[in-house]
Structure 1
Amino acid sequence: MHKFKRVISMMLCLCMLGSAAACEQTDTGGKNNGEEDLQEEEWANLEIINPEDYEIDGVVSISPLKASTMNDGIFQGWGTSLCWWANRVGYSDELAQQTADLFFGDDGLRLNIMRYNIGGGDDPTHNHITRTDSAVPGWLVWDEEAQDYVYDYDADKNQLNVLERCVEAAGDNAIVEVFSNSPPYFMTVSGCSSGGFDSNVNNLKDECYEDFAEYLAHVTNYIQNEMGIEVTSVSPMNEPNTNFWGANSPKQEGCHFDEGESQSRIIELTYEALQQYDLPNVMVVASDETSTELQINEYNAYSDKAKEYLGRINTHTYNPTKIGELGQLARDEGFLMWMSEVDGNGIAGTNAGEMGAGLWLGEKIINDINALDPAAWVLWQVIDKHISEEGYNGRQDSGMIDITQGFWGTAVADHDNQDVILTQKYYSFGQFTRYIRPGMTIIQCGGDSLAAYNPETKELVVVALNKSDKDRYMNYDLSQMESVGRRVQAIRTSGTIEDGEHWAQLEDFGAYEDGFVAELKANSITTFIVSGVELGNVTFEKVSMDGATVTGSAAWNNGDDTFDKVIDGDPNTFFDGLAEGWVEIDLGKKLKFDTLGFAPRAGYESRMTGGVFYGSNNGKDWKEIYTVKFSPASGINYIKLDKEQNYRYIRYEVPEGRAEGANEDYLCNIAEIELYREVE
């Protein structure tokens, strides 16, 4: 039997990571190493919850093999755009400080990334924008005496007021990015900063590319060298290759840039302008596209020089088609990537009430990070709605939201009472942002969960959703870790803003030898912190399938995404099987393995939920090996089986019908099947 060894030495990698960038200490009441607050004699008093003592609803395997390699495994953090809410609240020092503390402070969300919007500023004779917050002032204004456009460094004082306070609240972890939605109106073809007369056509004048790049560099230089705020990056475009940005829009600024030459040109010129201002450490990033599929197309269309000048790819995930392919492209090409903007008014859960919006956000975070593997995740706006009897600049505010439904943002600014109204979506966001900190390493996993490892404190953080209206017990399998400590801390958000849980510290409990059992309250988000975790050195041999033959059911529409794709070694190809579909591998002879590897179809991970793997030695009598009970992570999932298997035939199939609450039948969608054997 021919085999090749796949050797994963995660502990070495993560020790190096820890020395390069120390993780911020998780504030959960513990000391530096996460366990010093418990004396040895107290360990015996922690109740150990064993999986055999409960009716387990599912198993989630957390493997060091799924540790992120993006940015050398260093997660950079969480953030929000300051556009547009900071423009609206920044007139008030009281609201500016409240928001800085609530969103970036240690007692709040502990965000650390701020995306400051360099406004283009619209023609002062225009009044088509109806929102009170989205008419962001430009830095260049017409001077009658000079008969030219000159810089007004107080024009955007509201947003800058908030920026300064947020940087201070975030402390040493603060990361500031500046971005543009549109050039100044007088540099555009339409003379309007909300877009072009034809929203499918470039709206920056051909002769103004250098002027616009200089504008971005000038503002960046002012923020960094005059205000003393370090700027990490500049993004010159926002969702550029869309038809969203039309002249005289009632909503916001925007500008179309075609993929290819137009986008490459502004990337190159912005980079060169930053060099002219002696800002070599400020990177240019792009394209902040609305769709991950469009972002793939745009990256591939960049000029070689633009790719050389780019410091990072920014993508939005409003339309996450081919999200897994973009993540794979980042790994293949070796570029840094952020998920730099998303939000929405969706809900999740089952009769979840006020938790519905928060569960939707949690689901979005988990799906994005597990599929895309970004180095940072940034919410669009933490505040999207405002309350004010007088309104602002002659416009009326939208007023209070219905917090039992879906809504954009996480909080509402009450200008009449100079207060910020929080929601369960705010506290749901904090279940991630407060405990998965900059410097940690993300570990992809399934089961509506997200994991991260702190190499400094030896703590594993797991954030878990329960979107059911019934309590659930999940077994988190940590058997691939070298060691697991005894103490498990739990923090939970559930219920309503009035009488629910808000980062409620639950009673500590004990892990068992190979993992922990998580009690997940109905319609809740819970963060678990497991002490004393060593990832260790995990060494597997991949069992060769050379000479194996594959059979299966028909592909959708009798297309090319056929069953043979499951052993072609490429996670970007997949079997697009139908309801009651199946795929069967004849290995040619009995082979031993103790770890099952499988990859779902990227972007359709949930379609593997309910799928079952079987083994047989005659192709007729089948024994169940593993059932996929929850949506798996993107890419290869590694499942350590209870015992060594020895089979000639491997079969994967989906059951008849559809899962409870699903809107489609079970579909046989799977990208890869692999077998491994652990090496002692």
Structure 2
Amino acid sequence: MKLVNIHETAKDSASRLSQLNPAEREASSPKHLSCVVKIDPNRTYQTVEGFGGALTEASAYVLSALPEEKREEVIASFFDPVAGHGWTLARTHINSCDFSLENWACVEQTDETLESFSMEKVEQRQLPLIKRAIAHAGGSLKLMLTPWSPPAWMKDNNDMNHGGALLKKYYPLWAAYIVRFIDELKARNVPVWCMSVQNEPEATQTWDSCRWTGTEEAEFAVNNLGPALEKAGYQDLPILVWDHNRDRLFDRMKETMSVPGADEYIGGAAFHWYSGDQYDTVRKTSLTWPGKKLLFTEGCVEGGARPGAWFPGERYAHNIINDLNSGCTGWIDWNIALDMEGGPNHVGNFCDAPVLVDTENKTVLYQSSWYYLGHFSRFIKPGAVRIDCAMDSWMTPATVDGRMGNTMESCAFRNPDGTIALVLCNRTEADMIYTLECPQLSEDKAFRCPPRGIQTLLIG
């Protein structure tokens, strides 16, 4: 095998997912060698499902402001397997979420028969975006469903916002409601791949939210949702729990899996990044329940849009590399596109997104996060197996650019076709000089990753 090419994005350069000949990045001298990247394809770990993003009502709304050709270009940039990032996963919401234009439910008023169930709101914005994503993905997309809140009348606070809890008497009805939603999508040629019980079940938010304990999630899955899915013919649809921050991932999974019957009905856990870098909990969860899905399902830079900022891309790379190295089996971003404020969001909880849309001028800004995401999903294919990747350095992190916190991180995967994809992220302000050690590689050369840059190396 040999190093075929290098794809690169770097802050102070014109490189944006640019394909380079390896000779263009050979170091003139190994004098300032920073580290040795050691790859061992014989030591394998988890298989990856793929990468994706959230198809929210907000994303659909801002994209609808664009001319059709420009709108299709943006959707294709994420989901097209040739011209785009090749995303194969997506997540969307049952009822409204904070990135909706308002609170809404498919059954607004008390109706225990569900006869008034309506997909009107879904068909207005979400569904057209989902269908276009499926089309650009080649006709197949693994879609995950997540509720932010049941209808207000099913909850103890009679409010879709501000937490509250699902009334226990409505557990069977809520399960039937979810199955009905899945049925309605299926009737519209949109199959569902998996779902989570609740988004962020330990948070009382000013937006759509609902609290569940780990035991309650398990009991609902075992006694209500799982059997309801089976009866409807969806017995192969995995139910995920938690869908909240890394810090409590292992503890919640342990609580949930201790409920009798949980192993049969719970297909895994989902997690977010907002609590920080607790990758040890991801690793511990993956090792304790190796047969379960372990999906990252939401992350964004909070506080509004950051047009032109470089750090969001680096934050994405840092999180993706460490999640994957800890056993994560799939990585799903938050909103694929938002407006220049970071919305719309019906309670002002604005965030950044990989694509920002100027709805007045009908223009699009591809953010650093869009490019960084592509360095993973374009080259690490569904079904790829993580292989051992270690970085040896005799330098302290501060030796490279004088800043102790800066470093270079990496992960490596063997694709189904046998090629190896190695992703390297340099968050320092200096060139990182590195060599590769791989039993299958005949080359022994030093290479350079530019400051504030990311590279994907393809070996085949």
Fold equivalence (TM over 0.5)? yes
Higher mean C-alpha deviation, range 518-527 or range 164-173 = 164-173
Please state if 1:357 is matched with 2:312.
yes
Structure 1 residue ranges, 4+ long, deviating more than 4 angstroms after superposition = 45-54, 90-93, 146-149, 395-399
2:135 maps to: 168
Query: Quick one: distance in 1 between partners of 2:51 and 2:25?
Result: 33
Q: Percent identity between the aligned chains?
A: 19
Contact kept? 2:338, 2:344, Cα under 8 Å:
no
Q: Decide which of 187, 198, 203 is 2:165's aligned counterpart.
A: 203
The 1:289–1:397 alpha-carbon spacing in structure 2 relative to 1, beyond 3 Å, is closer
* Matches for 1:213-252 after TM superposition, within 5 Å: 213-224=175-186, 226-240=187-201, 242-245=202-205, 249=206, 252=207
- Could you tell me how far apart the structure 2 residues matched to 1:336 and 1:160 are? 26
Q: Aligned partner of 1:76: which letter?
A: E
> What are the equivalent positions in structure 2 for 1:170-185 lying under 5 Å apart?
170-171=137-138, 174-185=141-152
Question: Quick check: 1:448–1:464 contact (8 Å CA) kept in 2?
Answer: yes
Matched to 2:127, the amino acid is: L
Number of the residue aligned with 1:109: 85
Q: Distance in 2 between matches of 1:315 and 1:170?
A: 25
Secondary structure at the aligned position of 2:137 is classed as helix
2:424–2:455 contact (8 Å) kept in structure 1: yes
Query: Do residues 76 (structure 1) and 49 (structure 2) align?
Result: yes
How far residue 46 of structure 1 moved from its aligned partner, in angstroms, is 6.7
Residue by residue over 1:632-672, the C-alpha shift from the partner in whole angstroms, topping out at 9 and shown as x without a partner, is xxxxxxxxxxxxxxxxxxxxxxxxxxxxxxxxxxxxxxxxx
The counterpart of 1:439, out of the listed 358, 361, 383, is 383
Greater RCO (Cα-Cα under 8 Å, separation 6 or more)? 2
How big is the shift at 1:75? 1.2
Matched with 1:414 is 358
Q: How does 1:281-680 map to 2 (within 5 A)?
A: 281-290=236-245, 292-302=246-256, 303-320=259-276, 323-334=279-290, 335-345=292-302, 354-370=309-325, 372-386=326-340, 408-445=352-389, 446=391, 447-456=408-417, 458-478=418-438, 481=439, 483-484=440-441, 511-512=443-444, 516-531=445-460
Number of equivalences: 414
In structure 2, distance between residues paired with 1:311 and 1:317: 21
> Aligned-pair distance for 1:219?
0.4
Q: Tell me the CA shift for residue 396 of structure 1.
A: 11
- In the TM superposition, residue 444 of structure 1 has moved relative to its aligned partner by 4.6
The alpha-carbon deviation at position 356 of structure 1 amounts to 2.2
**Larger deviation, residues 407-416 vs 211-220:** 407-416
1:669 aligned partner: none
> CA deviation digits over 1:228-278, x for unaligned, max 9?
1221112121111x2433xxx2xx311001221x21222121111112222
Deviation at 1:79, TM superposition (A): 1.0
Write the deviation string for residues 131-190 of structure 1: whole angstroms up to 9, x where unpaired: 77453632223499x997611122212011100111111126621111111111111111
Corresponding residue number in structure 2 for 1:667: none
| Amino acid of the structure 2 residue aligned with 1:100 | I
Q: Spell out the pairing of 1:89-128 with structure 2 (5 A cutoff).
A: 89=62, 91=64, 94=68, 97-105=72-80, 106-119=82-95
User: 1:315, 1:134 → 2: CA distance?
Assistant: 25
Distance in 2, Cα, partners of 1:384 & 1:169: 20
Matching residue's letter, 1:113: L
Aligned-residue offset at 1:49: 5.0
Give the distance between the partners of 1:155 and 1:167, measured in 2 at CA.
19
1:57 maps to which of 25, 34, 43: 34
TM-score norm. by structure 2 comes to 0.80
Match of 1:563 in 2: none
Alpha-carbon distance between aligned partners in 2 of 1:211 and 1:433, rounded to the nearest angstrom: 38
The Cα of 1:194 is off from its aligned counterpart by 1.3
Distance 1:299 1:286 in 2: 7
Distance 1:382 1:97 in 2: 13
Tell me the CA shift for residue 470 of structure 1.
Answer: 1.7
1:65 CA displacement: 5.2
3-state SS of paired residue (2:33):
coil
SS in 2 for 1:360: helix
Kindly indicate whether residue 150 of structure 2 is the aligned counterpart of residue 150 of structure 1: no
Shift in alpha-carbon separation, 1:369–1:134, aligned structure 2, 3 A: farther
In structure 2, distance between residues paired with 1:195 and 1:396: 11
Q: Relative to total residues, which structure has the larger helix share, 1 or 2?
A: 2
Quote the offset at 1:417 in angstroms. Answer: 3.2
Partners of 1:254 and 1:418 in 2: CA distance:
33
Would you say the 8 A contact 2:282–2:328 is kept in 1? no
Structure 1 residues 396, 277: closer, same or farther in 2, change over 3 A? closer
Q: Is the 8 A contact 1:387 1:414 kept in 2?
A: no
CA distance in 2 between counterparts of 1:154 and 1:374 reads 35
CA–CA distance in structure 2, aligned partners of residues 167 and 293 of structure 1: 33
Report if aligned partners of 2:432, 2:449 keep a CA contact under 8 Å in 1: yes
Which consecutive unaligned segments of at least 5 residues does structure 2 have? 8-20, 392-407
- In structure 2, C-alpha distance between the alignment counterparts of 1:47 and 1:380, rounded to whole Å: 35
The letter for the 2-side match of 1:89 is V
2:268 aligns to what SS in structure 1? strand
| Aligned counterparts of 2:331 and 2:113: Cα–Cα separation in 1 | 44
Residues 57-80 of structure 1 show CA distances to partners (whole Å, capped at 9, x for unaligned) of 111212235422x3xxx2111011
Whether the aligned pair in 1 keeps the contact of 2:62 and 2:339 (CA below 8 Å) is: no
SS in 2 for 1:141: coil
- Residue 62 of structure 1 aligns with an amino acid whose one-letter code is I
- The amino acid that maps onto 1:193 is M
Q: In structure 1, how many angstroms separate the alpha carbons of the residues matched to 2:453 and 2:411?
A: 14
CA shift, 1:517, in A, is 2.8
| Matches of 1:417 and 1:48, distance apart in 2 | 39
In structure 1, distance between residues paired with 2:457 and 2:269: 31
1:273 equivalent to 2:202? Answer no
* Structure 1 residues 164 and 423: CA distance shift in structure 2, 3 A: same
Q: Distance in 2 between matches of 1:321 and 1:53?
A: 32
Shift of the 98–192 alpha-carbon distance from structure 1 to 2, 3 Å rule, reads farther
Is residue 317–residue 368 contact of structure 1 (8 Å, CA) maintained in 2? no
**What amino acid is the match of 2:130?**
L
Give the residue type in structure 2 aligned to 1:154.
E
Structure with higher Rg: it is 1
Letter in 2 for 1:369: L
Could you tell me which residue of structure 2 aligns to residue 86 of structure 1?
Answer: 59
Residue 242 of structure 2 aligns to a residue whose secondary structure is strand
